[in-house]
Structure 1
Amino acid sequence: DLVFTLKESLKPQTNYIFYCQSCGDIIEKDRNFLRVLPLPSENWSALVEEWCCHPNPFARSPLHPQHHDCFLGDTFFLCLFFNESHVPESPKSKENTRVFCKRCKIMLGETVSSDTVKYYVTEVVIQPSEGSFNPMPRSQFVQSIVAQCLVELSSAKSTFRFTVKGDDGKIYILIWILNSDTLLVESLGNSSSHNVFTRFGDSFMPSSGPVGTWNAVKVLYQPCIKSRNKDLADAWESDIGVHPLVFPSETCLELLLILGLSTTSLPPSLRHMNSFQV
């Protein structure tokens, strides 16, 4: 795998270093967790209300980690603050709850309580302390993380439709998985799409050999920025069969641009299916 998969690789009683994915700055050193636990699905509280014949017993008991705990969500992980320099001084508004990298000022996550932080998996890289940080081009990292989320959730929850929402609560993209085990093969010597992603400063093709092969997730998508496809977005948001994926708003825009560039690399006849882009 191209990226460090938290759910499979984050182990208790092991020292880790948190890095900013964008600039490589160390966020936290020598984090050691005694418990690494998965969180329930995003709409678990609503399901409790449907199944209980009495008031929701968890309504006033949010799931926050204790000391040396790490809770894993679909697109984030929760832990207690370790580096106090990242704690916002006065969390009176949404802007003040955001946590930023001290070096590059990229949003890393947000506070969910006075001592608990939510880090997004698209912004923070976690690696064992004895290892070294190997930077990955930003667009390649975002693609890998989002693809992993889509594959894992579609397999675990048997859902194939997703809304990509920003931390501002807005829906940016509607995604419908077509195929999660696509194998792409392309001749590198005569590739018209080889430089499609140069705006991000990286290439997704293998660097050697006459033929490049790599795994991919094939999706249909609809942009929802500037009120585009609002009716469809509203319908998907209220559909219990659609799973939400929440990322920082800036990352949602990055993902939308990546999808658009990927679409333009296809032959014109293969870029659309019904009203969706491929």
Structure 2
Amino acid sequence: MVIPFYSEKLTNIGVLRATLLVNAEAAAKATITVQDNVLLVGSDPVVNFSDVGVALASVPPVVTRPVETRTANQRVPIDVKLTLTKSSSYASPDSEEWWPAKEVRHFQHMNCRNCANRLLQTSSSFQCKDLPSEHWYELVECWICHETKPEEHRARMQPILARPDALLVGSTYFLVHPDNIISDAVVVDKPLASRVKWDRGTMSKWIMFNCNQCGHPIGEGQYEQRDEEIKLLAAKFFKYCVSILPSLKYQPTFIDFFVCDLLEAAKVHATHRFIIQGRNSSQIYALLWLFNWDTTVVYNKGFLDSSNENSTVYQERVMKVLYLDCSHNDDILVQRHLLSWGKDKTADHLLYPDAYCRQLVTAICETTKLLPSSMRTMNHPAMTMTQNFSVGFVNRN
């Protein structure tokens, strides 16, 4: 039977922290060693680290055995600290930029990823340009510091508008002028549009729109109301909702773009608390605390399935998060945390189509099952903001 194994690679301090699940007799008596880069319990191999490119130093492992006694047929966790070689590199926490202007400048078609419905006019020759950070306007005071009066720059700092025959490329979306969109290719989300208060705030509003063929959400449009009708002024197509033809080398998923959003917001706003909210329903799907934005995990799937006979070892680069699934918001604990986080001005709201919010929560919940049961929840008395939060991961490519 495969010995369940889970570990986190802490490259910044040169340590691999691991947990094994072995029977009580082995936990009490067996010697845990490393030979030829293989972790052994007695004479039984657990992990060959060479298979995943991890190099261990020739230093005896530090083993923490359980204090309480168990019967011989019971399985108990053992914590092991292994030393990495000094050659192990520390990866940059920055995320990869998906589909920048230089990669899409030769594109011919943009389609709905769900149904392949064509979205843009093919007669136009687009000029592709990268947009600055989504938070560029917030940082303008840092850029312009030499003027005697702060208001002098305001007349020049105008919003970046969509332009005909230009594909303006943001980190997670394409900004397109409505003249370049095929007639009736997209349709405004009517339930959302019906709730807009046109007499409040700015004259134009950003409202979700869907693919007219399949009804799948693909972006949001800047609309204004004229003579009781709304007119599209600009369109943002979410990169994770569209496909580019000819096909590019890599087709990033929603999770890839979520990582970009999370890291950018964390760096710009200096926050680690995020509220994941649906654009369509305004429902809060999860509360998320960014615990470590660059972690490497090495594991087999023994903790996921105790009867697992597959000894395959996996290595993944992830972000470690604490999260609370708020799908069932009638729970008293969930309600208490929603109220607390709702009052926290440092918590950042990340809005996505509801279907993608559900996909995200499901993916994170699945990663929790890879952990030993003792590591799946966070209940430290000093961390009241994350009491009974689960521990999970968001994969980074």
TM normalised by structure 1 equals 0.68
> Judging changes above 3 Å, is the alpha-carbon distance between structure 1 residues 215 and 157 closer, same or farther for their aligned structure 2 residues?
same
- Displacement after TM superposition at 1:181 (Å): 1.3
> Judging changes above 3 Å, is the alpha-carbon distance between structure 1 residues 191 and 159 closer, same or farther for their aligned structure 2 residues?
same
Q: Does 2:186 match 1:87? A: yes
> Judging changes above 3 Å, is the alpha-carbon distance between structure 1 residues 2 and 20 closer, same or farther for their aligned structure 2 residues?
farther
> Judging changes above 3 Å, is the alpha-carbon distance between structure 1 residues 231 and 39 closer, same or farther for their aligned structure 2 residues?
farther
Does the CA-based 8 Å contact 1:24-1:135 persist in structure 2?
no
- The separation in 2 between residues aligned to 1:249 and 1:107, in whole angstroms, is 9
Question: What is the CA deviation profile of residues 216-235 of structure 1, one whole-angstrom value per residue up to 9, with x for unaligned ones?
Answer: 11100112234352343344
Read off the aligned partner of 2:209 and give its amino acid letter: V
Residue of 185, 190, 193 corresponding to 2:298: 185
Per the alignment, residue 110 of structure 1 pairs with: 220
- 3-state SS in 2 of match to 1:225: coil
- Displacement after TM superposition at 1:165 (Å): 1.3
- Displacement after TM superposition at 1:273 (Å): 0.5
Query: Pairwise CA RMSD of aligned residues?
Result: 4.0
Residue of 176, 179, 185 corresponding to 2:289: 176
Q: Does 2:211 match 1:101? A: yes
- The separation in 2 between residues aligned to 1:109 and 1:24, in whole angstroms, is 15
Does the CA-based 8 Å contact 1:78-1:119 persist in structure 2?
yes
Question: What is the CA deviation profile of residues 47-105 of structure 1, one whole-angstrom value per residue up to 9, with x for unaligned ones?
Answer: 9xxxx999xx89xx8654233252636x54432232223232x7764168543335543
Does the CA-based 8 Å contact 2:303-2:371 persist in structure 1?
no
Does the CA-based 8 Å contact 2:303-2:372 persist in structure 1?
no
- 3-state SS in 1 of match to 2:215: coil
> Judging changes above 3 Å, is the alpha-carbon distance between structure 1 residues 144 and 92 closer, same or farther for their aligned structure 2 residues?
closer
Per the alignment, residue 168 of structure 2 pairs with: 70
- Displacement after TM superposition at 1:192 (Å): 5.5
Read off the aligned partner of 1:119 and give its amino acid letter: F
Q: Does 2:369 match 1:261? A: no
Per the alignment, residue 161 of structure 1 pairs with: 273
Residue of 95, 99, 112 corresponding to 1:20: 112
Question: What is the CA deviation profile of residues 125-149 of structure 1, one whole-angstrom value per residue up to 9, with x for unaligned ones?
Answer: 4x4x55457667xxxx233322232
Question: What is the CA deviation profile of residues 188-244 of structure 1, one whole-angstrom value per residue up to 9, with x for unaligned ones?
Answer: xx65649xxxxxxxxxxxxxx953212011100112234352343344344332222
> Judging changes above 3 Å, is the alpha-carbon distance between structure 1 residues 157 and 27 closer, same or farther for their aligned structure 2 residues?
same
Give the unaligned 5+ runs of structure 2: 1-93, 142-148, 195-206, 224-231, 306-310, 380-387, 392-397
Per the alignment, residue 324 of structure 2 pairs with: 222
- 3-state SS in 2 of match to 1:182: strand
- The separation in 1 between residues aligned to 2:358 and 2:211, in whole angstroms, is 19
- 3-state SS in 2 of match to 1:15: coil
- The separation in 2 between residues aligned to 1:25 and 1:124, in whole angstroms, is 9
In percent, how many aligned pairs have the same letter?
22
Does the CA-based 8 Å contact 1:3-1:145 persist in structure 2?
no
Read off the aligned partner of 2:135 and give its amino acid letter: S
Question: What is the CA deviation profile of residues 124-178 of structure 1, one whole-angstrom value per residue up to 9, with x for unaligned ones?
Answer: 34x4x55457667xxxx23332223223332343221111111133322111111
Number of residue pairs matched by the alignment: 243
Does the CA-based 8 Å contact 1:120-1:247 persist in structure 2?
no
Does the CA-based 8 Å contact 1:71-1:79 persist in structure 2?
no
Does the CA-based 8 Å contact 2:303-2:369 persist in structure 1?
no
Q: Structure 1 residue runs of 4+, over 6 Å off?
A: 1-4
Give the unaligned 5+ runs of structure 1: 195-208
Read off the aligned partner of 2:374 and give its amino acid letter: S
- The separation in 2 between residues aligned to 1:13 and 1:211, in whole angstroms, is 36
> Judging changes above 3 Å, is the alpha-carbon distance between structure 1 residues 255 and 33 closer, same or farther for their aligned structure 2 residues?
same
- The separation in 2 between residues aligned to 1:13 and 1:143, in whole angstroms, is 20
- The separation in 1 between residues aligned to 2:285 and 2:294, in whole angstroms, is 25
- The separation in 2 between residues aligned to 1:271 and 1:21, in whole angstroms, is 35
Question: What is the CA deviation profile of residues 240-277 of structure 1, one whole-angstrom value per residue up to 9, with x for unaligned ones?
Answer: 32222110011111111112222123221111002211
Read off the aligned partner of 1:219 and give its amino acid letter: V
TM normalised by structure 2 equals 0.50
Counterparts of 1:132-151 in structure 2, within 5 Å, are: 132=248, 141-151=253-263
Does the CA-based 8 Å contact 1:13-1:33 persist in structure 2?
no
Per the alignment, residue 10 of structure 1 pairs with: 101
- The separation in 1 between residues aligned to 2:137 and 2:128, in whole angstroms, is 27
Q: Does 2:356 match 1:251? A: yes
- 3-state SS in 2 of match to 1:111: strand
Does the CA-based 8 Å contact 1:12-1:33 persist in structure 2?
no
Report the structure number with the largest CA radius of gyration.
2
